[in-house]
Structure 1
Amino acid sequence: MAEVLDRPTTHTGRTRRQRLTTRLRSARTDTVVALGYLALAVTVLSGQWRHPGSGYLIKSGQDQTMWEWFFAVTAHSVAHLENPLGTNLQNFPDGVNMMANTAMFGVGVPLTPVTLLFGPTVTFVLVLTLGLSGTAFAWYRLFSRELVESKPAAAVGGLFCGFAPAMISHANAHPNFVALALLPVIAQLIIRVARRERARLRDVFGLGLLVAAQIALGEEPLLIFALAFGLFALVYHLPSPRAGLHAVRTALRTLVPAALITMALTVIPLWWQFFGPQSYRSIDHGPMGNDLKALFQFPSESLGGLLLHGQNVAINPTEENAYFGWPLLLLVAVTVAFLWRDRVVRAAAAVIAVFTLLSLGSTLVIGKDDTGIELPWHRLESVPLLNTVLESRLTMAAIPAIAAILAVATQRAANRWRDAPVDWRPLGWFAALTLALLPLTPTILPVVQRPATPAFFTDGTVRQYVSGGSVVIAPPPTPPDARALRWQADSGFEFPLAGGYFVGPTGTDRKGHYGPDNRPTATLLIKAQQTGTVPVITTADQQQALDDLRYWRADVVVLPPTDKADVLRATVDQLLGISARQVDGVWLWDVRGLA
């Protein structure tokens, strides 16, 4: 395949009319492929599209609420000409560092009109839909221009890149790991500048802008891509190191000035992320490696998963980052053996092997049983930047590598079929490819109907009880229950919230963690709701409640319809020494005179 990667991009010996006809035919094929990807993405997310106002992707946990809030608060900041990099609308009064929370300004800012007109849920599902289809098409375009001549072969590769099990899993909740279309565009530009003897100003600015834009979409996918692309290039050029060094020197003429442009465009946001208010140094997420069984099983949201799901070994439903299924892994292994002389296949195989091994974490886990066998990630997990990566996500680097192998093999089979129509071996490949990919066909992501926002927040009543302070929900929102973020957004951000769902610093070492440092009163209310028992309230508890209300600068405490509401109401009554009033569907305590 080296000949394919190095094939000339000029069209010699053809008339202008022939070139135009070829381009039109190619554009028509590209359009059909793009529409096919888009149709599949809409189908996968059709449950949410049918109910954009009330639907909720149930497997997202509270992440959909969090992302909708990110998009909503970004639009609010843009519309009010406020700094979008930070906000105190949740976790009041400390606030939230939005750059340190992957707020995806790369889509949140340009889609501000969509968010303001149709709401953040539409923005959320639109980003997911275009993310799946756009990522698939961008890889298809790279494969068809730089790897294979057959558009159907490239389409197979693009299909897997856009709709691999990890992509469908993240489509439940994580648009930053779904909207990956810029990565293959960056790869294609680097490949092309490595061929040129002179750096072009257009390429320098283009690459600088593309990387800056990807930083605004998601830094973790960019880091994983950069490491995988570097490994691919290294292994690809091992047989011809001189050519590899020449390609590196040539590319650096563009890469270095492009990096300076990227730094100039992102220096302020990145400074804010790492050194601004509510920034943190690292985040301790604990062991997050793939279980070995996750490599061979079928994903839950697939045809194969409906019939043979196997043991549930995923971190959670949104992190099924492997789940390639044993038929596909077997097919890839056999294909690599047959096409080992192909440099692209060898390089792709290296990426698959290395990143899959790293994704298993520090120790080997099989069926949720830790074997204690130490793995390479043990020595890498404390490396700066890598220490913020969920190691199970490293298998996402294997997705385009597998896709490249499938595209190359499909091209070979198509060529053989064209040259020898009676040869049965191409039919064997197409049958094996179908059997490997069919079980991974994604199903429609499940959606439930969420309760309507209490009228207290949507009809303006809340404004009567807020005088520059915060609203304290009983109990304040946390990562396990972040519904209040939606209520705040539905009110038009009429008030700041105590607590929330975000990543922020804790302690003197400024390590990142999910959610606020719970005040004692918040902890007491959470425990009361969990146990269903009104605790014994002491004078110290009452004093602590007043101290916490002053810390939150609370104007009103609100108890919306929720589980164990009677227990919570009785607890707050005793803590504050005043009785709740029912207003517009919620119970509330006006604490402006107390706090």
Structure 2
Amino acid sequence: MSTAVGDDLGDAPVRREWSWPRFWSSYWLPPALWFLFACIAFSEFLAHPTRSLPGGADGVLFAWYFESVQHSLWHLQNPLFSDAMNTPTGLNVMWNTALIIVSTLMAPLTALIGAVATAGLMMLLAPVLSATCAYLVFRRLSGHPLASALGATLYGFGPFFVGQAGHLHLTFAAPALPLIFYLGYQLFVTQPGNPRRIGCQLGGLVAVAMLVSEEVVAIVAIIAVIATVIAVVLNLDVLRDRLRYAVIGLAWAIPVAVVLLAIPLGYQFYGPLTLNEGIPGYQSLDVAGLVTPSALQRFATSADIAANYTYPAGGVENTGYLGWPLLAFMAALLGLLVIRRTRFAIWWLITAVASVALSFGAVIYINGRRTDVAGPWQLVIEHLPLLESLVAVRITLATTFLVALVIAFGLAAIQRRRNYLIGCGAAALALLTLFPAQRYDGMLNLAQSSFFSGSGVKAIPAGSATLVLPLRAEPNASAQVMYWQIQSDFRFKMVGGYSVFSVDGTPAYLVGLPKYATVLQETDDTGRLPAGSDVTLARISAATTGVRYIVLTSELQHRDLVAAAAVEITGCTPRPVADVLLCQVPLP
């Protein structure tokens, strides 16, 4: 975002005579192809769009928040708080990945097709929107559609999106990064028109992105500060001429963002059930992870996959892979730019190295071994402890964007058409090594129930505190009950749940279940009725927590035994409704 970019590439492509075929091929064809690829990648979800969605328990959590916000808006309730989960305490929605602005805008669609289908559709659209935004920015700055499309494909469909496909708060916020880059580029480089307009646009965009993912905005802010400082150092000769415009723009951007975020962030930090701290993010990129493919890549050997599981960011979080072919190709592009004496190459290299170094986390790991060498991220969290909850490996989102940027701009620097096409072919081959190993699945095997999806659930009065069994204080079991609650259109308030809860100001993904719930679950697990002392404690627990209904689903192994225990503890009378046993707890 400096003249290091602007002076080398200019602000806009050379205008050509307009024609419909060229317009179609350069503006509509790439997004259409990306949408087709996304449909293939999410084909398992599309086959059954209401039964499950990618991301496992996390995917169900996103669907739950879509349903929660829609339910709150339709009933004129506060969407920033909910006691539909973890009843009767509830939770502060703003401390969770609720994508509050997306779930609000999509509330009509949620009401029409359901929360699971809506959340899954947003997961499908996220990489398409990200690639499209990157493409439009790259094309605007470079003037080369093919080079821009190659870079944008990496950004929207590279290892980051393959691994994080089920983390909607990360993928749906990703389109903001190239747009923020472009507005920053205008603010610091081209400086067109009125700086107040650019500043207001930047402030509004940051506010919207914050209401999708605070984590992504924090990542963008960190890299933007680094990139701007480097750009200033490289362009001290023009600093005085550009400083006033940039300051005016920022002076408008900041208050615009503050005003738009005042209510939601005020509720987050000063509303009920706030947190005194975030959940520390411990996953980081292993140095070897840059060149060792994981289970996310098709061209990974069994040895590569085994090695990746020893890294501090195993599984879906290991999203920093670039591979030797792509690194070699980038080195060639940088060499070309250096030969042409472009400051962009220096700016990009320092910024990219900083981004990669930060993703290594607080302690450097090499090939699964802890080195005890502190990484640059340690310095960041020491001075900004609020960022301790940011997962360092997710900074690879910014790294991916920077790599996509150098592909688009580096190829654009090739002057002869023949060499340009050869370069694009080489880029395509390098990107092919990142091809995903499989579709974006990772879908939780959710049990279906005619009670929750049909009219049977209306036997429970709306808003009643309800324990649904089986239920354990672990993500998948909680997600199953949350899915049934979604199917019921939030007919009841559930005991337990999986989200970010406040326990006296301390964050927790799971909260301890009340005694009566654990006793009933243990009855099913052990196949034995509870001891007398446990029954006594469970009775006290049931009486003080206000549970009104207990639902015994067919997923229980010893349902009749659990029903007998429920009768002994609460005095309820189980009766069959659809495919469950419904037990109404008598009022004290």
TM-score of the two chains, using structure 2 as the length reference = 0.88
Contact in 2 for aligned 1:506/1:517 (Cα 8 Å): no
For 2:578, the aligned partner's letter is D
Q: CA deviation at 1:284?
A: 2.9
Q: 2:327 aligns with which of 326, 329, 332?
A: 329
In the other structure, the counterpart of 1:287 is: 282
* 2:39 paired residue among 39, 42, 47: 42
Q: Structure 1's 563 and 356: CA in aligned 2 closer, same or farther, altered over 3 A?
A: farther
Could you say what secondary structure the match of 2:127 adopts? Answer: helix
**Equivalents in 1 of 2:247, 2:260: separation in Å?**
19
Instruction: Write the deviation string for residues 129-150 of structure 1: whole angstroms up to 9, x where unpaired.
Output: 221011111111111112x221
Instruction: State whether structure 2 residue 551 is matched by structure 1 residue 553.
Output: no
**Are 2:260 and 1:257 aligned?**
no
Q: Secondary structure at the match of 1:303?
A: coil
Give the 3 Å change call, closer, same or farther, for CA 335–29 of structure 1 in structure 2.
closer
**Matched residue type, 2:72:** S
1:135 aligned residue: 130
Q: Please state how far the C-alpha of 1:325 moved relative to its aligned partner.
A: 2.6
CA distance in 1, matches of 2:558, 2:373: 48
Distance apart, 1:79 and its partner CA: 1.9
Shift of 1:380: 2.9
Alignment of 1:516 onto 2:511: yes
1:236 partnered with 2:231: yes
- Distance, in Å, in 2 between the alignment partners of 1:9 and 1:580 is 71
Q: 1:543 to 1:355 in 2, by over 3 A?
A: farther
> Does residue 489 of structure 2 align to residue 492 of structure 1?
yes
Distance 1:565 1:64 in 2: 29
1:303 corresponds to which letter in structure 2? R
TM-score normalised over the length of structure 1: 0.87
Q: In the TM superposition, what are the counterparts of 1:304-319 in structure 2 within 5 Å?
A: 304-305=299-300, 309-311=304-306, 312-313=308-309, 315=313, 317-319=315-317
Does structure 1 residue 541 correspond to structure 2 residue 544? no
Q: Counterparts of 1:229 and 1:124 in 2: how far apart (Å)?
A: 30
1:574-585 to structure 2, matched below 5 A, reads 575-576=569-570, 580-585=574-579
Against the structure 1 CA distance between its residues 448 and 264, is the aligned structure 2 distance closer, same or farther, given a 3 Å change threshold? Answer: closer
**Match of residue 375 from structure 2:** 375
Q: Is the 8 A contact 1:348 1:405 kept in 2?
A: yes
Q: Matches of 1:427 and 1:23 in 2, distance apart?
A: 23
8 Å contact from structure 2 (residues 358, 392) kept in 1? yes
Aligned pairs for 1:42-81 within 5 A: 42-57=39-54, 60-81=55-76
Task: Give the aligned partner of residue 320 of structure 1.
Answer: 318
Distance in 2 (alpha carbons) for counterparts of 1:35 and 1:465: 46
1:56–1:450 CA contact under 8 A, matched in 2: no
Secondary structure of the 1:496 match is strand
Cα 1:337–1:546 change in 2 (3 A) is farther
Distance 2:225 2:135 in 1: 20
1:451: Cα distance to partner?
4.6
Aligned residue identity for 1:537: P
The range that moved more, 244-253 or 382-391, is: 244-253
What is the distance in 1 between the residues matched to 2:13 and 2:56? 51
CA distance, structure 2, for counterparts of residue 51 and residue 321 of structure 1: 28
**Which residue among 98, 113, 128 is the counterpart of 2:93?**
98
Give the number of aligned pairs: 574
Q: CA deviation at 1:516?
A: 2.2
Q: How big is the shift at 1:184?
A: 1.6
Establish whether residue 177 from structure 1 lines up as the match of residue 178 from structure 2: no
Q: Does 1:506 align with 2:500?
A: no
Rounded to whole Å, the distance in 1 between the matches of 2:332 and 2:11 is: 31
Letter in 2 for 1:480: N
Provide the residue aligned with 1:205 in structure 2.
200
CA 361–183 in structure 1, closer or farther in 2 if over 3 Å, else same: closer
1:158 aligns with 2:152: yes
State how far apart, in whole Å, the 2-side matches of 1:191 and 1:154 are: 17
Query: Structure 1 pair 435/445, CA: closer, same or farther in 2 (3 Å)?
Result: same
Task: Say whether 1:480 aligns with 2:476.
Answer: yes
- In 1, distance between residues paired with 2:411 and 2:16? 26
Displacement of 1:198 after TM fit?
6.1
> Is contact 2:485–2:492 with CA below 8 Å preserved after alignment?
yes
The 1:10/1:268 distance shift into structure 2, 3 A limit, reads same
Classify the secondary structure of the residue corresponding to 1:217.
coil
Q: Which moved more, 1:366-375 or 1:398-407?
A: 366-375
- Alpha-carbon shift at residue 522 of structure 1 (Å): 4.1
Post-superposition offset of 1:166: 0.9
Structure 1 unaligned spans of 5+? 12-17
Distance 1:248 1:571, change over 3 A: farther
Which deviates the most, 253-262 or 86-95? Answer: 253-262
Distance 1:526 1:5, change over 3 A: farther
Question: What is the CA–CA distance in structure 2 between the aligned matches of 1:322 and 1:526, rounded to whole Å?
Answer: 41
Does 2:586 match 1:586? Answer: no
One-letter code of the match for 2:251? Answer: V
2:407 aligns to what? 406
> Which secondary structure does the structure 1 equivalent of 2:95 belong to?
helix
The aligned residue for residue 14 of structure 1 is: none
Pairing 1:108–2:97 present: no
Structure 1 residues 95 and 448: CA distance shift in structure 2, 3 A: closer
User: Structure 2: how far apart are the matches of 1:350 and 1:399?
Assistant: 15
Structure 2 counterpart SS, 1:56: coil
- How far apart are the structure 2 equivalents of 1:467 and 1:134? 38
The 2-side partners of 1:527 and 1:247 are apart by 68
Rate the CA distance shift 1:368–1:76 in 2: closer, same or farther, 3 A.
same
The match for 1:438 is 432
Quote the residue 2:392 is aligned against: 391
Counterpart AA for 1:557:
I
Q: 1:188 is matched with which residue?
A: 182
Mark the CA change 1:433 to 1:24 in structure 2 (over 3 Å): closer, same or farther: closer
- Give 3-state SS (helix, strand or coil) of 1:52's partner: coil
CA contact (8 A) 2:169 2:213 kept: no
1:377: how far off?
Answer: 2.3
Amino acid at match of 2:508: H
Overall identity of the aligned pairs, in %: 25
In structure 2, the residue matched to 1:15 is none
Judged with a 3 Å threshold, the aligned counterparts in structure 2 of structure 1 residues 262 and 114 are, in CA distance, closer, same or farther, namely same
Paired residue secondary structure (2:18): helix
CA deviation after TM superposition for structure 1 residue 22, in Å? 7.0
Where 1:485 maps in the other structure, the secondary structure is helix
Q: Is the 8 A contact 2:123 2:171 kept in 1?
A: no
Report the AA paired with residue 378 of structure 1. Q
Inter-partner Cα distance in structure 2 for 1:36 and 1:4? 32
> Is 1:303 the equivalent of 2:298?
yes
Given residue 41 of structure 1, which amino acid in structure 2 is its aligned partner?
Answer: A
For structure 1, which segment, 355-364 or 376-385, has the greater mean C-alpha deviation from structure 2 after superposition? 376-385
Q: 1:389–1:565: structure 2 CA closer, same or farther, 3 Å change rule? A: farther
Q: Which range moved further: 455-464 or 106-115?
A: 455-464
